[in-house]
Amino acid sequence: MDNNFIQLNYLPLGSKGKVKVLTSDGTIRRRMLDLGLITDTEVEALQKSPSGDPVAYHIRGAVIALRSEEASKILVEAY
């Protein structure tokens, strides 16, 4: 694994990254792909819920809330 890749749930608020790897499988992987989380898709961490989980992400023109468990299966290259 490249050292520049981090789990999406560790992307700081206000930061952007590009999706590089989906490590989930089965129906969760299908859901992520359906949401547009494919290689080189830009993702921006917008805000956390009051409890800290889920986090809202800007993905392909939509705001999507992902739980930390789901976001940890998505590796991004932060920039």
Count the domains in the chain. 1
According to DSSP, residue 9 is labeled G
CATH no. for residue 58?
2.30.30.90
How many CA atoms within 13 Å lie on the side-chain side of 51?
A: 4
Q: How far is CA 35 from the centre of its chain?
A: 10
Q: What is the predicted pLDDT for the residue at 13?
A: 96
How would residue 12 be classed by pLDDT, with cut points 50, 70 and 90? very high
Which residue range is the domain that position 52 belongs to?
A: 5-78
How would residue 3 be classed by pLDDT, with cut points 50, 70 and 90? low
In tens, the pLDDT along 28-59 reads 999 999 999 999 999 999 999 999 899 999 99
